[in-house]
Amino acid sequence: MADHAMVVSAHPMATAIGVAVLRDGGNAVDAAVAVHWALAVTSPWAGNIGGGGFLVLRQADGRSLALDFRETAPAAATHDMFIGKDGRADPDISELGALSCGVPGSVAGLFALHDSLGRLPMARLIQPAIELARHGCVLSPLEAKDLNGCLRKLRLYSSRPNAFTAKDRWQVGDTLFQPELANTLERIRDLGPDGFYRGETARAIVAEMDRTGGLISAQDLAGYTPVWRPVVKGRYRDTEVISMPPPSSGGVLLLQMLEGMEGMDVRRSGWQTAPTIHRMVEVERRAFADRSVHFGDPCFTEVPVAGLLSDQYIAERLADFDPERATPSTRILAGEPPVEHEQTTHISIVDAEGNAVSCTTTLNGMYGSGVVVGGAGFVLNNEMDDFSAAPGVPNNYGLTGGEANSVAPGKRMLSSMAPTILERNGELFMVLGSPGGSTIPTSVFQVILNVVDHGMGMQQAVNAPRFHHQWLPDTIQAEVGSIAKQDSLRLVHMGHHFKARRPLGRVDAVLVRPDGKLEGGADPRGEDHARGY
Ligand code: GLY
């Protein structure tokens, strides 16, 4: 709980760095930039300079904008590059190694963000990350376990020894020193985006691609540009929901799902009861069916956002909703709206002036492609797997897609990230988002319902167990203990299928309470940390 400002991120050191920036006179943008640089060091499984992300910004005066720093396909990428000799999509090459790497967007994104509203000098914001990389970070139990779990891929797909492969087995309490990453961050500090997209770092990336058979070229790097986009907006009950537009599907799916819940008195039907879950699953499966057909990079395909979000369309989509029976996903196709491995990390920040930043950034899989840029010390993403390798072939998250999300040079791959901000009565109300690939929109959806309908506080809403449905596979994936036995039995009788699964999402969030205090919600599914002043 804090009176003035709050930072919630996946790592206590990154959170502390963000709070120090705010105390130093920085605003939410400065803090977000500093926290992102810090996470690239403290949390290299997802925090990154070799990946990309999305951000929603709401200024204290109510204006909002979205920043798209999603990776792009290299110019040499081709439509069928992930189809093997047998004519089938080959997940080994789309998920691992050099061909899975998109052109990174994070560094350009952070500079674009800082250029917009940043107050403190960039050197001040990046320096703490440089110190951490040089002086080392002590590994927690989860970090040691995850790093050990990824060592094989980091060895197999990187052409040079690197900080991560320095040991055969990492122990809790070991210090991870990243001197090459510190040098790369210093080049960025001194040269700006050119410290990454041109010169020594760019040469290291291209050399790594040459050694490992990747496609990213010097021209791809020099040509990368982040894009400011208008946010997508919708209402839920008495709140205004502001989220990320395509090329992420996350914001639109979230708004579709929330609109689909308007017809139900969720407060009365109760938290995690069979009727509530049934309705949530039915709106989720219809939204994800739309995702499989209508979504892609808006520069390459027309995404009918307004149609997908129109009240009439969503009502039509739910016209066959039966309160007593599950609709099998085989009976649900994408609608026809009127035309007009999962590792990601989220930051939610509110500053003392009321500016808010909601930022989700990713390498896609844990430690991304497994390719560490030789001599430059950072992991490259495996975001190319977010394209549809072939129509109907599921990616790492089990998501299918069609031509709208096929590979093409320079195209942004479809995402599910949903950095989101809510207003109530025109004032800032909540800032939230999550990692988790396809489970991002549904995790954010549930946390919003927990607060708006079920009256929970921020931490309680984040802690509450979650479930997920994404149309295909036609299964409710549920955290252990998330649904009481009598409710799951009733849902099975209604025709639903269940699968228990590991923790869903890792939501980091801030709530503005009625008394004006800020309540952080840091997800206990990770080692996330909220701190304010
Ligand atoms: N890489 C996960 C996503 O963008 O949805």
pLDDT digits (tens, 9 = 90+) for 26-42: 999 999 999 999 999 99
Rounded to whole angstroms, how far apart are CA atoms 250 and 66?
13
Domain boundaries, position 333: 235-343+417-520
Q: Residue with the nearest Cα to atom 2 of ligand 1?
A: 437
Site residues for ligand 1, CB cut-off 6 Å? 344, 362, 364, 383, 386, 415-417, 437
Looking at the structure, tell me whether residues 75 and 199 fall in a common domain.
yes
Bridge partners of residue 53, in order along the sequence: 69, 361
Looking at the structure, tell me whether residues 21 and 58 fall in a common domain.
yes
Looking at the structure, tell me whether residues 392 and 465 fall in a common domain.
no
Q: Looking at the 3D structure of the chain, how many domains does it have?
A: 2
Q: Is residue 531 part of a domain?
A: no
Looking at the structure, tell me whether residues 23 and 103 fall in a common domain.
yes
Bridge partners of residue 233, in order along the sequence: 242
For the segment 356-385, what is each residue's pLDDT rounded down to a tens digit? 999 999 999 999 999 999 999 999 999 999
**DSSP for residue 383:** G
Q: Kindly report whether the peptide bond that precedes residue 247 is cis, defined as omega within 30 degrees of 0.
A: yes
Which of 327, 344, 360, 361 is an active site residue? 344
Q: Is residue 525 part of a domain?
A: no
Which of 70, 95, 100, 344 maximizes ligand 1 atoms within 8 Å of its Cβ, making it the mutation to test the pocket? 344
Looking at the structure, tell me whether residues 200 and 349 fall in a common domain.
yes
Distance 433 CA to ligand 1 centre (A): 13
Q: Is residue 470 part of a domain?
A: yes
Is the pLDDT assigned to residue 460 strictly greater than 70? yes
In the sheet that holds 508-512, the strands lie side by side as 232-236, 239-243, 420-424, 427-433, 508-512, 518-522
Residues in CB range of 529: below 8 A, 6 or more apart: 8, 9, 10, 11, 12, 14, 15, 522
Q: Is residue 406 part of a domain?
A: no
For the segment 402-428, what is each residue's pLDDT rounded down to a tens digit? 899 999 999 999 999 999 999 999 999
**Residue 250 one-letter amino acid:** G
344 is catalytic: yes
Distance 55 CA to ligand 1 centre (A): 13
CA-386 nearest atom, ligand 1: 1
For the segment 217-255, what is each residue's pLDDT rounded down to a tens digit? 999 999 999 999 999 999 999 999 999 999 999 999 999
Looking at the structure, tell me whether residues 218 and 72 fall in a common domain.
yes
Q: Residue with the nearest Cα to atom 1 of ligand 1?
A: 364
Rounded to whole angstroms, how far apart are CA atoms 44 and 38?
10
Q: Is residue 460 part of a domain?
A: yes
Which of 100, 253, 382, 417 maximizes ligand 1 atoms within 8 Å of its Cβ, making it the mutation to test the pocket? 417
Q: What is the CB neighbour count within 10 angstroms for residue 509?
A: 31
pLDDT tier, 340 (very low <50, low <70, confident <90, very high otherwise): very low
Q: Is residue 222 part of a domain?
A: yes
Q: Residue with the nearest Cα to atom 4 of ligand 1?
A: 415
Looking at the structure, tell me whether residues 350 and 339 fall in a common domain.
no
Looking at the structure, tell me whether residues 339 and 358 fall in a common domain.
no
Return the CATH number at 285.
1.10.246.130
Residues in CB range of 87: below 8 A, 6 or more apart: none
Q: Is residue 255 part of a domain?
A: yes
Looking at the structure, tell me whether residues 460 and 478 fall in a common domain.
yes
Q: What is the mean pLDDT of the chain?
A: 96
Looking at the structure, tell me whether residues 326 and 355 fall in a common domain.
no
Distance 364 CA to ligand 1 centre (A): 6
Distance 396 CA to ligand 1 centre (A): 10
For the segment 173-198, what is each residue's pLDDT rounded down to a tens digit? 999 999 999 999 999 999 999 999 99
Half-sphere exposure of 397 (CA within 13 A, CB side): 34
Looking at the structure, tell me whether residues 204 and 258 fall in a common domain.
no
Kindly report the pTM of this predicted structure: 0.94
Residues in CB range of 475: below 8 A, 6 or more apart: 469, 497, 498, 499
Looking at the structure, tell me whether residues 297 and 444 fall in a common domain.
yes
Q: Is residue 530 part of a domain?
A: no
Q: What is the CB neighbour count within 10 angstroms for residue 353?
A: 13
